[in-house]
């Protein structure tokens, strides 16, 4: 049986659940994840359900615009993102999950800083090879 974890942003306006067991957590060294200090778990897109507050989600995209980063527009908390490297999966902010003990899963560092920067006029703060 798969566990269902409920989660929310800080203000509680965005509520979601995942039907997945986080068995690995990841950090990322890309410029966005470093600045938001993200610790995530990867879930298939059909395992994530938005229960309330979809209208409060705001989207941030940059570079290739494949990754879709979602934040609560009211409190500003990053809740999840569609992954660039696996667009059929979401990275979920594990600190938004209720009753999840993050000491139960190993943490793996992922390398995002070396992903290609493919947009016109990239900011110099964005690491990675330019196309």
Summarize pLDDT for 12-30 with one digit per residue, the tens. 999 999 999 999 999 988 8
Tens digits of residue pLDDT in 80-97: 999 888 889 999 999 999
What's the confidence (pLDDT) of residue 38? 86
Domain locations along the chain: 4-23+38-98
pLDDT digits (tens, 9 = 90+) for 96-122: 999 999 999 999 887 766 666 676 777
- Model confidence at 67, pLDDT cuts 50, 70, 90, reads confident
Contact 112/30 with Cβ under 8 angstroms? yes
pTM of the model: 0.83
Residue 33 in contact with residue 24, Cβ under 8 Å? no
8: number of CA atoms within 13 Å, CB side? Answer: 13
- Pick from 99, 108, 119, 124: which is nearest to 28 by CA? 108
According to CATH, what is the number of the domain 4-23+38-98?
2.170.150.70
């Amino acid at each position: 049986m798969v566990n269902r974890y409920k989660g929310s942003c800080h203000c509680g306006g965005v509520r979601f659940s995942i039907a997945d067991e986080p068995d690995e957590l990841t950090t990322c060294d890309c410029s966005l994840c470093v600045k938001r200090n993200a610790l995530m778990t990867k879930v298939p897109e059909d395992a994530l359900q938005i229960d309330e507050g979809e209208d409060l989600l705001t989207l941030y995209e940059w570079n290739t615009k494949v990754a879709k980063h979602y934040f609560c527009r009211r409190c500003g908390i990053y809740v999840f993102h569609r992954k660039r490297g696996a667009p059929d999966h979401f990275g979920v902010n594990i600190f938004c999950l209720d009753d999840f003990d993050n000491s139960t899963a190993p943490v793996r560092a992922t390398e995002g800083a070396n992903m290609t920067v493919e947009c016109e006029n990239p900011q110099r703060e964005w690491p990675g090879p330019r196309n």
